[in-house]
Structure 1
Amino acid sequence: MENDGESGGENGMDILVIGGSRYFGKRLITRLLTAGHRVTVLNRGSAPAPTGTEALVADRDDERALERAVAGRTFDVVVDQVCYTPRQADIARRVFTGRTRRYVMTSTVEVYGDLDSPGAAVAESAVDPAAVPVDLGLPWEDPEFRDAHYGEGKRQAEAVFAAAGPGLPVLPWVSVRVAHVIGGADDFTGRVEHYARRIRAGEPVAVPPVNRPATYVYVEEIAAFLAWAAGAEFTGPVNAHSHGELTTAEICAAVQETTGGSVEFRETTTDELSPFSFARAYAMDNSRAESLGFRFSNASDWLRTAVAETLGRDGDLGGAA
């Protein structure tokens, strides 16, 4: 990987991370601290703040509590790892406008969920947040509704930050549209483990009749990207993923190499599909990020290492990360 994880070469910033207690959020915080930044972590107190950081405790859905937690404070950058709904974005915009010069929201490839462009990687312009309608009245506080509308929630959250007009304060913002993340022994999603269980047992893997490839990013690489984005100057949406697309077969082959067993695919249009198998195009275009100065690795270079890490092997299987 060609990036050192430092935030644009600008050391000594005061950075607030909202969330960040697990997976690539933990790695982001480690990189920020290593680069010499002062890091404050805000969460609900359910997990301790990492060593070397300052802790703030508040429920980010409670505007008054969030206001009290950051009263009298300003930050160079806020990195929001847990903004899932337009309501959360609306609160954050009010609370942090005037308290930070830059707001970085972790978004998702799922914002492109209604698109299907086979053969063409999707650029940021395919979903313009300024054109996305926002409905704060939907039951965003309902976990089941929120999970079922994950991509829409992120789209509308981006739209809240992008909104402009008379009386609306300016908050320079970035939305990092993160590809599917692979790697790390602490991967809590269970997606790679799903394949490992089926391959070990010789059970078929359910895929659509036309199973399209997708873009992915290594867990360490997305942490490096977010650290870099914190210290950059650009605004607006940016796609973040490693070069190259991966197929379900390639991921399964890496799992099989680590676990043994055999891979059998079963085409279906009715059963629940396996993770990382897609009936529609799911590839992003990362040329904007590269033109701004970040250099991504190739997914084929780290796939075997990432799978081995997730499945509890030492990861030294010839992959480069």
Structure 2
Amino acid sequence: MQKICVIGGSRYFGKLLVKRLQAADHHVTVINRGSTSPPAGIEHLVVDRNDEAALTAVLGSRTFDVVVDQVCYTPVQAETAARAFADRTRRYIMTSTIEVYDPATASLPAVPPGTPVPEEIVDPATWLVAMDLPWHDDAYLEAHYAEGKRQAEAVFARTGCFECTSVRSAHVLGGGAQEFTGRLAHYVGRITRGEEITVHAQVLPTVFIHYEELAELLLWATTADFTGPVNACSDGQLDVHGLAAITATQVGREAVYRTVVAGEPASPFSFDRHYAMSNARAKALGFSFSHTTDWLPGAVVEALTTEPSPTA
């Protein structure tokens, strides 16, 4: 049994991770702002993780074997957490994102289309950190989500206070209404209603992961000893046409497409640039992934059950 602290853990795969940690007989502590309580038997500390003094006070004399940070979006938050947990844990896991590889958000080494992107393309040990940017501005943070994650990873990589890893998640799907981004529901709804799906003229594939598989990978990471970033994605790249085709099969209707003009936004997962991740490192470390096409039809069915029936 380990003592594991989860920062966030109130919804989607974070909520599932807490349940799986508890089922594995770990002593689990959840830290969040109190909007959602964890399951019975989970220690709950209510605090704003951005308030360093309050965070330190609520932690008291507690120590942990592992901290899993589900809600770190900026280098400022990372630096606060690094100080607060410096003498309280031996291992720190930050949930990151595929968006760190988006070439539209940073100057990155070019990767040929079709070549899965490895972790070393974005090295947190050498990434520039700028603490003086307006990270507390919600609008700025939303516009610079990928850079916030890159710099947060960089802060943890250089802390030296504990071993750390960042789990760079692919696009997470599954769970019906739990999938709060609504991206899969977007396709289910539009295809069900016979509405157009807007796509780029030349679309490139991306990678996905089921929310249960991501929770399982994070659980695995709490008992592992590797450090540095690791990509988390199911096997099999899929472009927007492939995603829509699987959705259409489950819905029982044809997908209708419209090609966007220059500068016009396209539907979620229609990409005109390549940053589909490689999961080779996680596999080499011992984690086994499913194939996207094995679970995606079931995820569509889950989303379909929450989609209102089209009116006549």
**TM-score of Structure 1 vs Structure 2, range by shorter chain:** over 0.9
The structure 2 residue matched to 1:189, chosen from 178, 181, 185, is: 181
**Cross-structure match for 2:282:** 289
Which residue identity is paired with 2:125? A
Output one character per residue of 1:12-34: Cα deviation in whole Å (capped at 9) or x when no partner.
10000000100000111111111
Normalised TM-score (structure 1): 0.90
Q: How does 1:28-107 map to 2 (within 5 A)?
A: 28-107=17-96
Identity over the aligned pairs, expressed in percent? 53
**Does residue 1:26 correspond to 2:15, yes or no?**
yes
**Cross-structure match for 1:172:** 163
Contact 1:78 1:103 in 2 (8 A): yes
1:130 match: secondary structure: coil
Pairwise CA distance, 1:87: 0.3
Count of matched residue positions in the alignment of Structure 1 and Structure 2:
298
Q: How does 1:1-321 map to 2 (within 5 A)?
A: 12-114=1-103, 115=108, 117=111, 118-163=113-158, 169-185=160-176, 186-268=178-260, 269-312=262-305
Using the TM superposition, name which of 64-73 and 252-261 deviates more.
252-261
Unaligned residue ranges in structure 2 (runs of 5+) = 307-312
Unaligned residue ranges in structure 1 (runs of 5+) = 1-11, 314-321
Matched residues in 2 for 1:278 and 1:67: separation? Answer: 42
4+ residue stretches of structure 1 with deviation over 3 A?
none
Matched residues in 1 for 2:115 and 2:8: separation? Answer: 34
2:89 match: secondary structure: coil
Which residue identity is paired with 1:71? G
Pairwise CA distance, 1:169: 4.2
Contact 1:206 1:271 in 2 (8 A): no
User: Compared with structure 1, are the counterparts of its residues 169 and 270 closer, same or farther at alpha carbon in structure 2 (3 Å cutoff)?
Assistant: closer
Matched residues in 2 for 1:249 and 1:113: separation? Answer: 20
Using the TM superposition, name which of 102-111 and 258-267 deviates more.
258-267
Root-mean-square deviation over aligned CA pairs: 1.3
Matched residues in 1 for 2:50 and 2:74: separation? Answer: 10
Matched residues in 2 for 1:307 and 1:25: separation? Answer: 21
Pairwise CA distance, 1:270: 2.7
Using the TM superposition, name which of 43-52 and 183-192 deviates more.
43-52
Contact 2:188 2:303 in 1 (8 A): no
Contact 2:188 2:300 in 1 (8 A): no
Normalised TM-score (structure 2): 0.93
